[in-house]
Structure 1
Amino acid sequence: MTPFAALHHQDAPLLLPNAWDHASAAALAARGFAAIGTTSLGVAAAGLADGAGTSRAETLLLARRLGRGAFLLSVDAEGGFSDDPAAVAELAGELAAAGAVGVNLEDGRADGTLTPAALHAAKIAAVKAAVPDLFVNARTDTHWLGVPDPVEETAQRLTLYQQAGADGVFVPGLTEEEGIAALAGSVRVPLNILYSPTGPTLSRLGELGVRRVSLGSLLFRSALEAAVRTAVDVRENRTPTGRPPSYAEVQRLTGSD
């Protein structure tokens, strides 16, 4: 078992915060987070649409910037930026070469549909064949996209994804405790849930059987909100609240001092 995989088998769930650049990753690592993911929304926010399969180069570039950091890196690779399993496996190899130890592969598409389950399973199998030690977190967007019977569809897809070799499964949009507990008890690999401020707490998710909790784009969106709030406070002659890191502290985090 790799060190990253082992983090999914502790007493408490692995809390995986998601960074969008070197400074955000370094700041999280400095506060003791052993593993950090990337957020596709944060990567795409440079001017590309999230989930549209257009940010392959940017995703790989960020992995190369973060992959040698003092933390374990898992990369959000959307759907692998291709429907060709061989091309997805090639990307996975490049991400692993950059230092990534995990990858998140999702079956949701930009048009609101789901990738055929067999095709997504083929992508997972191709990645595991090419890079056996890379932790593949197979995500299904059944609950996010409002499929007619998300419980049954989720179960069918996760069965296929596990058979294909997925090391973990991820079901964003599922926040109801009974559903989370039932799903955690039905899968044989670690279950990943997306944290929701209106859903169960981290400790409660652990009690329900969740082994990994992702923050997704929450930190990036919170940073945007804080930046705009600070600018508005200054414009309205209010003293900004909070204590942002100093210029020197950011320089030290990014190794640019």
Structure 2
Amino acid sequence: MFKRPIHNILTGLGMLGVFFVGWWGWYVFDGSDKAEQRAIETAQEYVNVTYPDLSLHVSDVMYLSLYDPKYHVTMSSDTSVDTEFVVRITRGGHVVDDSYEDDVVSKENTYRRISEAYDAAVQQSIAPTFSDRIDVMTELSDSAWRDDVAHGDDVTHLQLDQAVDLEFYGARYGILFLHAEDDSYTYEDVMVLLRDVKRVADENRVPFHSLKLQITIDGIERYAEGIRYSDLDSPYLLARLKQRMND
């Protein structure tokens, strides 16, 4: 006669266990409203003390449970577009670290802003002309940029929030990646294509430093990089293309 009460008790305990396991999983993987609010308040108090000269507000909060079980609180400036960084906070409300040095002082945010502006300019002014033939992608050479910073060259004088000089940064660091997927070209066709790209870039005052090229030539897919802007007007361009794309 005790079987049913015992069964009911065990069933209840099982359901309670499932509830607590589910609650624990939700808390670990999704955080909690209370912990999130605590993280926001802690981050705001931290930056008020650590960076009192900056006018900062919370612009985003993420809880990265799988990779880093902490709250990542993004702090943004009210007056500086390049001043944005993350403060990491534990669920218990303790500050772990912040990315101010890595994102702001290093000019990483400034680099990213200029890079995005350069890509937008290329996509608006160069890419449409060739949309039926090639895909055009861009990058500002991160390694060249950092080499200049390390050696104290011009970019160390870059100021946060300054206007973007696309002609300077494009000519010094801009890389266009040209990808032709379908058609097969001859080397002569490729030479004409590259000079057309240079002409359109010049007309729109969106220069570049060099090209990467992935294209099918005479039925064989070929790739080359480091084709410099200055190479494109050379009378030896055809010979150099053949050498580069056969290496």
Scaled to the shorter chain, the TM-score interval is under 0.3
- Higher strand residue share: 2
TM-score, reference length from structure 2: 0.25
- Higher helix residue share: 2
TM-score, reference length from structure 1: 0.24
